[in-house]
Amino acid sequence: MQRTSGNAITGWAAVLLLPIVLPIGLIAQLLPGKKTVDRTPEDVAGFIGDFLDGTGGAWDWDEFECVPITDPRLDAIRQKAVRVGPPNPNLEELRRLASEALTLSNG
């Protein structure tokens, strides 16, 4: 199951839009605002599970890696998953982290 929007711009369109989008992105980084995303324990376990099963969308793991999570407990799990994820994934540790995330929804 794809967890991202699937509306990624690729190819020549991406190259042509880069001179416009890059300055806007830099300015956006300077503005105050929320820099994290709200995710549930099920969302975190889902991202990891989709990676393990090979059922995630093309950019799902990248989004999971790059976007900090508001809940510090879930973000700590995300950071650990990034360290043991691609390119040389530790599948057992990823399974353990998915399970750890799910225990947060029960606690």
- Has residue 1 got a pLDDT over 70? no
Q: Retrieve residue 90's tokens.
A: 């530790």
Q: What is the DSSP string of 74-106?
A: HHHHHHHHHHHSTTS--HHHHHHHHHHHHHHHH
Type of residue numbered 89: P
pLDDT score for 6:
63
With cut-offs at 50, 70 and 90, classify the pLDDT of residue 77.
very high
Reported as a single tens digit per residue, the pLDDT across 26-43 is 787 777 778 899 999 999
pLDDT score for 42:
97
Reported as a single tens digit per residue, the pLDDT across 52-72 is 999 988 889 999 999 999 999
- In sequence order, the β-bridge partners of residue 69 are 37
Average pLDDT, the chain: 88
